[in-house]
Amino acid sequence: MSFFKKLRESIATKTETVTKQFKDGLEKSRKGFVEKVSDLITRRKKIDEEFFEELEEILIGADVGVNTVMKLVEELRGEVRKQRIEDPAELQPILSEKLVELLRGDEDNEIAMSPDGITVILFVGVNGVGKTTTIGKLAHHFKQQGKKVIMAAGDTFRAGAIEQLEVWGTRVGVEVIKQQAGADPAAVMYDAVQAAKQRGADILLCDTAGRLQNKSNLMEELNKIFRVIQREIPGAPHEVLMVLDATTGQNALSQAKLFGEKSGVTGLVLTKLDGTAKGGIVIAIRQELSLPVKLVGLGEKMEDLQKFDSEQFVHGLFAGLIAEDPEEAEETK
């Protein structure tokens, strides 16, 4: 059975809705990456050094990551020698399969939930990455599941952050615990935890400040928030999700490395994947960080925040190639 057929079968049990969201959300990456690879394979009549150099350029341009690209291309060279491949078209399914392998990880990308009591999820990340929007969308997701959700406006330093979260609270019908601008974020978290206990909430989603990751006082603020939450709810927070803007590519990876080392991050959220041709950053992050991608933003609608699924991601990215399985095309001739 061909790789493409196996991939199609592996996602056959997924819902059409999710498949469409991944496919539509990854359209720019598909055009910017997969179509360039297809063009290279069609244009080049033989596999030589120039072929591999151009392939490297395409992969690096998609933000797959230099280290990952060098390793991947070296493996492809080995397959060419081993299988005595001469036609670039024969390399296409091998490349696709290797990219799938890079995306698949052993780590659990489910959001950790408290077995009893309140689940506390803390969101960190620099300003402008879509943190507040992600919190609002996740609140909607949990509310749709029948959960009682409360949001905490812990980003008291950024102008408009509290109001932005309140807008989301009104939109999704979720209470927002807040204080005035400039207030102590740890005090807001204390109020939010007490409110969550009193209201019998299932989930508390906490926004935090997002000033530059190398500011030591921000890390001190986060540590204070941690201490308050842990004192009030032992074992919390159950997740610390770092939100990254996929459109910033390698800069997002740098942020994750710097921020993640200092703030106890347990998982990543990649926003705005629909707005970039550099979807390869997901591969780079999976390869270079020991952190699971838990959620991805694939559009502006509330339903477009999706749990990361490597098979759905690959299906969305390689939709054109899967439809053009070379083995099946040959069989139908």
Residue ranges at the known binding site? 125-132, 207-211, 271-274
Phi, psi (degrees; rounded to nearest 5) at 43? -75, -40
Provide the annotated binding site for GTP: 125-132, 207-211, 271-274
The span from the CA of 152 to the CA of 189, in Å, is: 7
Ordered DSSP codes for 134-160: HHHHHHHHHHHTT--EEEEE---SSTT
* DSSP assigned state of 116: S
Both structure tokens of 146? 């029948």
**Alpha helix ranges (H) inside 3-43:** 3-10, 16-25, 27-29, 35-43
The amino acid occupying position 10 is: S
Burial per residue of 263-299, b for 16 or more beta-carbon CB atoms within 10 angstroms, e otherwise: bebbbbbbbbbbbbbbbbbbbbbbbebebbbbbbbbb
